[in-house]
Amino acid sequence: MIFPPLPLSGAGESKDRKVLKICELTRQIKNTLETRFCGLWLEGEVSNFTRAASGHLYFTLKDEESQIRAVMFRGAASSLGFEVASGNKVQAYGDVSVYPPRGEYQLKVTRMQPAGIGDLQLAFEALKKKLGEEGLFDEARKRPIPAMPRRIGVVTSPTGAAIRDILNVATRRFPNISLVLAPCKVQGQGSAQEVADRIELLNETGGFDVLIVGRGGGSLEDLWAFNEEVVARAIAASAIPVISAVGHEIDFTIADFVADLRAPTPSAAAEIAVPDQAELYRRIQELSSRIRRSVTRKFEWLSERHDAVAGRALFRRPMEMIEQYSMRLDELLGRMGSSSRTHMTLKESAFEAMLNRLEPVSPIRTMRRGYSIVTRQDDGQPLTDASACVAGEMLRVRMAQGELSCTVADVSRESARRGEQGLLPLS
């Protein structure tokens, strides 16, 4: 359908001209496009993909030269057999439609199937595989984020939404926190190198406890600087723990995998990095209250112990207790002395009885009747046989009273036989 041109204003202007409303023109365009372009299959790469809370899918289909907005309503989206994401290459079937409120045309998709992976997605997967094999994603190399940082470095655009979100959250949580911005491009030619350079600069400057590296949301192309190898290696080489905060919660970049911690958004990164002053104050108050309660309970316990001990008789009448124990000691000493004397008397009686039993067989008693004990002087061996002696040998003779040292003048065997064993009669 071809619309006639509107007449120009000025002299000779027709008085019966027809002026269209914008909505009328849009309606005619809508009817034309939707009648002419329906039942189309298009192949392209998904970009700017968003899944709304309603379940509808909004995205852009693009090729090397052009792009078209697309929408897939919840009913059709529920039958998809695969997960759609930015970077996917798909074949979409649907009708061209016009959205009157904005005067924009779009593809209303009713069916969609994978057609392969886009070039950016292929590059993403290749770099992810390479760095993963090098161990840059290993959990063992990731460092904890300090709970109480004094100084935080931020690598992002000075004009983007990310820095505003970080500042808003940080100043709300801890107004006195020290934030230092290292401004850089986060999109377009040379942005990846700038991000890497700022990370290195903050490390060289020193004094930072944690770095936040990122930007706000966007398409896969918009976020691509954070999928570059130079940024990944700068994050891995950083001596300062790094929080990656790129895009929205559904966006994942290589920087997220290398960083010590991934935050779903820049605002969330600020929430993680900056302690909540009000919460810290509340915690301090809670701990102070617990300490006071603990000290109070301890004091009350000690006071009770003091009262209990002070109420005892020892502390109320100490001399009375000492006198009682002194009397008790005297009593025990007296009983011990009496018991000792009784015990000694019994032992003495037993000893005398034993002596009386030994007296009849005592060699001393025998020696008192005139017998003696003769031993060699050199070895002390007792002698019972005179023939065991030789003339001139030195002997020792023990009597009932004293001892004698003698020299053998002669040996008589007959007299030896008459003597008692080991004894010689002297009278």
pLDDT tens digits, 177-210: 999 999 999 998 899 999 999 999 999 999 999 9
Q: What is the pLDDT of residues 377-400, one digit of tens each?
A: 888 888 888 888 888 889 898 888
Tell me how far apart the alpha carbons of residues 241 and 144 are, in angstroms, rounded to a whole number.
7
Query: What is this structure's pTM?
Result: 0.51
pLDDT at 369: 79
Q: Taking Cα atoms as reference points, which of 120, 53, 47 lies closest to residue 84?
A: 47
pLDDT at 420: 45
Q: Taking Cα atoms as reference points, which of 110, 98, 115, 125 lies closest to residue 63?
A: 115
pLDDT at 145: 94
Rg of the Cα atoms in the chain: 58
Tell me how far apart the alpha carbons of residues 362 and 371 are, in angstroms, rounded to a whole number.
12
pLDDT at 117: 60
Tell me how far apart the alpha carbons of residues 396 and 325 are, in angstroms, rounded to a whole number.
64
Q: What is the pLDDT of residues 104-152, one digit of tens each?
A: 889 999 998 887 666 777 788 889 999 999 999 999 999 999 999 999 9
Tell me how far apart the alpha carbons of residues 180 and 273 are, in angstroms, rounded to a whole number.
13
Tell me how far apart the alpha carbons of residues 245 and 248 are, in angstroms, rounded to a whole number.
8
- Where is average pLDDT lowest: 45-54, 283-292, 374-383, 405-414? 405-414
Domains identified in the chain and CATH numbers: 22-117 (2.40.50.140), 149-277 (3.40.50.2300), 365-418 (no CATH)
SS3 95: strand
pLDDT at 6: 41
Answer for the pair 424, 416: CB distance below 8 angstroms, yes or no: no
pLDDT at residue 3 above 70? no
- Where is average pLDDT lowest: 13-22, 222-231, 370-379? 13-22
